């Protein structure tokens, strides 16, 4: 007996991962991707899982970092996104960063060659038809207006929105390495790294003050009808950070701590601009934390005042686009299914998670849920003690509604973090009372150990063999 396919709309990280998980479970998948039939303001290629902002999946530390834990859980679940990321990693200190083109090409090739996968290049401008009784909308923050309107009409709820910004990318050979130097903060060695994975450009106080003044005075992109839309705090434009106070950037992406100028080791920089490798060849570097809404001409003029970047050539300048996400706690059930229409699920950033890895993780869950439903298996949500479960719980109901402002939505985009996990008992160390940082690290290690154990158990109970279908 043939199995009806699961339809997935959107070939970003979430849609690609959802498609892979469902197909790997033995369910046929039809993946609908509108590029290149219709482009977006941020995408440059027609490849699946294209990275449009940073090329970093952030920390790969599965022992004391929540996103690193999510990496580990996704690897346990056979994630295509993590497999491709690991294969195409580039040095990035303690982070997992990838060659964006190689990564996208790998994901695309894997999906195109899967025997249960059909990829259709078309725009889906309305809600999936009823005959697509198992479908996933994973159109991300750049959902086409017609589909966004159809979603709003079905749910009776307006979408929420925030701005997301993109950092510039610079050609390596245009960086003056007589001024800049290679070093990871505190010489930290990460996956595929050496402890010298970032390029650092130093500033003294006068240079920093002039830079902040130029940021504040520079001409910005205007949005008119979008004014009043909030930014996501994890991806603020650099000039918005500067508006919060002259020292904000020096305690954020331009902090000098853990860095020593190789050309002048006795003089501590007042501030440092870091650039991270963006492709496997090492020919491109992106400006860490320098997402911006400055107009292009202003970006070139202002960023070339940074020591070491006086002759910088930009492969891509920064930009700003509008992100859209739904009020998931009101609209979705615990398996990411639209309450108003059983069988229709949402995945990725449109659900209100934030970050590449988080989006892919929610896609992974949606793909597994849809496959289980199609095969008539029980749907089992991951325990809230896992990174999967903690993130899912946030999306489907883990926020607090304000009693002071009835009707005001408190749900906001969120990266995975330990604040989303249930408390854990810190193991006692015989003859020693843990305090301060030592206690904090012990607590994180206890959380991650519990999470990986519970995730393994959840995955074991949810497995299905193709022979049993």
Supply the pLDDT for residue 193: 66
Output the pLDDT for position 145. Answer: 78
Angle CA 45–74–469, to nearest 5 = 95
CA 178 to chain centre: 34
pTM of the entire predicted model: 0.80
Instruction: List Cα–Cα distances, 219 to 140, 239, 344, in angstroms.
Output: 29, 10, 43
Cα 157–Cα 162–Cα 164 angle in degrees, nearest 5? 145
Residue 40: what pLDDT?
A: 67
The DSSP H or E segment spanning 83 is helix 80-87
Could you list the residues known to form a binding site, using ranges.
Answer: 10-15
- State how far the alpha carbon of 160 is from the alpha carbons of 13, 228, 343, 399, 411, in Å: 21, 12, 23, 15, 9
Mean pLDDT of the chain: 88
Please tell me the distance from the alpha carbon of residue 370 to that of residue 362, in angstroms, as a whole number: 12
Backbone phi and psi for residue 148, each to the nearest 5 degrees, phi listed first: -60, -40
For a pLDDT cut of 90, what percent of the chain falls above it? Answer: 62
Tens of pLDDT, residue by residue over 273-303, are: 999 998 878 888 999 999 998 999 999 999 9
List of E strands, 179-236? 181-182, 198-203
**What is the average per-residue pLDDT within 67-79?**
98
Residue 368 — φ and ψ, nearest 5°? Answer: -65, -40
CB within 8 Å of 350: residues ≥ 6 apart? 137, 138, 139, 140, 141, 143, 324, 325, 326
Q: Give the tens place of pLDDT for each residue, 226-251.
A: 445 677 766 788 999 999 999 999 99
For residue 464, name the pLDDT band (cuts at 50, 70, 90): very low
Residue pLDDT, tens place only, 98-154: 999 999 999 999 999 999 999 999 988 889 999 999 999 998 877 777 888 888 888
Spatial neighbors of 440 by CB under 8 A, at least 6 apart, are none
Q: What is the pLDDT of residues 319-366, one digit of tens each?
A: 876 777 888 888 899 999 999 899 999 999 999 888 899 999 999 999
Radius of gyration of the chain (CA): 23
Looking at residue 225, what is its pLDDT? 46
State the binding site for FAD: 10-15
Q: What is the pLDDT of residue 465?
A: 36
- For CA atoms 219, 225, 229, 234, the dihedral sign is negative
């Amino acid at each position: 007996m043939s199995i009806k396919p699961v339809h997935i709309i959107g070939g970003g990280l979430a849609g690609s991962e959802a498609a892979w998980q469902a197909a790997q479970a033995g369910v046929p998948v039809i993946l609908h991707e509108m590029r290149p039939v219709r482009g977006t303001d941020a995408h440059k290629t027609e490849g699946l899982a294209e990275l449009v902002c940073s090329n970093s999946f952030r920390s790969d530390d599965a022992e004391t970092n929540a996103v690193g834990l999510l990496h580990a859980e996704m690897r346990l679940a056979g994630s295509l996104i993590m497999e491709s990321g690991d294969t195409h990693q580039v040095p990035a200190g303690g982070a997992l960063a990838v060659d964006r083109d190689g990564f996208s090409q790998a994901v695309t090739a894997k999906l195109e060659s899967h025997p249960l996968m059909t990829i259709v290049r078309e725009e889906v401008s309305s809600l999936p038809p009823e005959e697509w009784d198992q479908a996933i909308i994973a159109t991300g923050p750049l959902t086409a207006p017609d589909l966004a309107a159809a979603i709003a009409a079905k749910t009776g709820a307006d979408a929420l929105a925030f701005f997301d910004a993109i950092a510039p990318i610079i050609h390596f050979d245009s960086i003056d390495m007589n001024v800049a130097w290679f070093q990871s903060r505190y010489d930290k060695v990460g996956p595929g790294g050496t402890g010298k994975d970032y390029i650092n450009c130093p500033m003294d106080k006068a240079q920093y003050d002039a830079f902040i003044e130029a940021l504040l005075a520079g001409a910005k992109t205007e949005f008119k009808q979008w004014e009043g839309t909030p930014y996501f705090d994890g991806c603020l434009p650099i000039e918005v950070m500067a508006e919060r106070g002259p020292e904000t950037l020096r305690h954020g992406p331009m902090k000098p701590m853990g860095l020593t100028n190789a050309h002048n080791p006795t003089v501590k920089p007042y501030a440092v601009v870091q650039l991270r490798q963006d492709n496997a060849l090492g020919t491109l570097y992106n400006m860490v934390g320098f997402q911006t809404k400055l107009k292009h001409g202003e970006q070139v003029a202002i960023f070339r005042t940074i020591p070491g970047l006086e002759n910088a050539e930009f492969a891509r300048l920064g930009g700003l686009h509008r992100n859209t996400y739904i009020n998931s706690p009101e609209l979705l059930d615990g398996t990411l299914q639209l309450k108003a229409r059983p069988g229709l699920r949402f995945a990725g950033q449109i659900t209100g998670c934030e970050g590449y890895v988080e989006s892919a993780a929610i896609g992974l869950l949606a793909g597994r849920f849809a496959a289980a439903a199609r095969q008539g298996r029980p749907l089992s949500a991951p325990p809230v003690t896992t990174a999967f479960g903690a993130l899912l719980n946030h999306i489907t109901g883990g926020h607090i509604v304000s009693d002071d402002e009835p009707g005001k939505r408190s749900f906001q985009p969120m990266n995975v973090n330990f604040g989303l996990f249930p408390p854990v008992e810190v193991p006692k160390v015989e003859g020693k009372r843990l305090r301060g940082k030592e206690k904090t690290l012990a607590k994180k290690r206890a959380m991650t150990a519990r999470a990986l154990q519970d995730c393994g158990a959840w995955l074991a109970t949810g497995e299905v063999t193709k022979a049993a279908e």
